[in-house]
C-alpha cells in the first residue's frame, strides 16, 4: 500500500480502523484507473522514425527516462547518453537529428514508491478512500461547504451534505478529485523525495 489507514485518520479525523485493507486496495486500484498508473513500474515505447526529427512525444509528463537506444539499420541498438537529449513535459528533444528509418526504444518509469509519493497523490488517495468507504457504507462520512458562522463581526455558515446526496457534477468533493487527477497527469507537482 502506498498510504496506510493511519495517514487517512490523520488527514480526515476518521478512525483508522474504518479504512480496511479492502478499502485501501480498492482506492489504489481506482487511482490507477483514473491516473493511468500509480505504483512505480517500468515501461517501454518503440518508435519508428518516418521523417528526420529532433523531437519525440513520449506523452508521459511525469515519466523518468531510464534509457534511450536507437539503431539506423537492422542489428544491435546503441544506447544514447543522457547528455544527448532533454526531456520536458513528455517531449524528448535530441541534440542531434534522428534520421528517417531509425528505430528508437525509450525505457522509462512511471509511478511512485512509498518514499517518493507526492503529497497531491496522497491527497487523491485519501479522497478516493473516502469515496470507496462511502460507497461500501453509505453515509459513513459527510463533507461540508462553508457558508456562514458568526465570529465577532464576521460570519461563516456550514452547509453539510453527505456524498450520497450530492454525487452530481456540482459536488465539490468530486470536482476536487477530478482537479487532483488533472494536476497529477500534467506532472504539476514535486515529489520532494528521490528514489
pLDDT per position in the chain (195 positions), as tens? 999 999 999 998 899 999 999 999 999 999 999 999 999 999 999 999 999 999 999 999 889 999 999 998 888 999 999 999 999 989 999 999 999 999 999 999 999 999 999 999 999 999 999 999 988 887 776 655 444 445 555 544 444 454 445 444 436 888 889 999 999 988 866 554 443
106, 117: one domain: no
Residue 195 maps to a domain: no
Tell me what pLDDT residue 156 has.
47
Number of domains comprising the chain: 2
Contact between 148 and 104 under an 8 Å Cβ cutoff? The reply is no
83, 173: one domain: no
Q: Find where cell 482506492 sits.
A: 27
50, 143: one domain: no
Q: For residue 14, what are the domain limits? A: 5-38+113-186
Please give the Cα distance from 176 to 183 (Å, whole number).
Answer: 11
117, 33: one domain: yes
DSSP string for 69-110: EEESSSS--EEPPTTSEEEETTEEEEEEEEPTT-EEEEEEEE
180, 124: one domain: yes
Tell me what pLDDT residue 57 has.
96
β-partners of residue 69 are 79, 105
Tell me what pLDDT residue 160 has.
43
Q: Find where cell 464576521 sits.
A: 154
Amino acid at each position: 500500500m502506498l498510504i496506510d489507514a493511519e495517514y487517512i485518520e490523520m488527514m480526515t479525523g476518521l478512525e483508522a480502523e474504518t479504512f480496511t485493507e479492502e478499502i485501501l486496495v480498492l482506492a489504489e486500484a481506482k487511482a490507477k484507473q483514473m491516473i493511468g498508473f500509480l505504483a512505480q513500474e517500468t515501461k517501454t515505447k518503440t518508435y519508428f522514425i518516418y521523417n528526420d526529427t529532433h523531437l519525440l512525444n513520449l506523452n508521459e509528463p511525469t515519466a523518468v527516462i531510464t534509457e534511450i537506444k536507437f539503431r539506423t539499420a537492422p542489428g544491435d541498438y546503441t544506447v544514447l547518453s543522457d547528455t544527448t537529449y532533454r526531456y520536458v513535459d513528455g517531449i524528448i528533444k535530441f541534440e542531434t537529428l534522428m534520421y528517417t528509418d531509425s528505430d528508437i526504444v525509450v525505457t522509462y518509469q512511471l509511478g511512485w514508491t512509498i518514499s517518493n509519493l507526492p503529497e497531491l497523490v496522497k491527497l487523491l488517495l485519501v479522497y478516493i478512500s473516502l469515496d470507496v468507504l462511502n460507497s461500501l457504507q453509505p453515509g459513513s462520512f459527510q463533507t461540508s461547504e462553508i457558508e456562514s458562522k458568526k465570529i465577532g463581526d464576521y460570519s461563516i455558515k456550514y452547509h453539510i451534505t453527505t456524498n450520497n446526496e450530492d454525487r452530481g457534477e456540482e459536488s465539490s468533493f468530486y470536482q476536487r478529485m477530478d482537479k487532483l487527477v488533472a494536476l497529477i497527469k500534467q506532472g504539476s507537482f514535486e515529489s520532494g523525495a528521490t528514489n
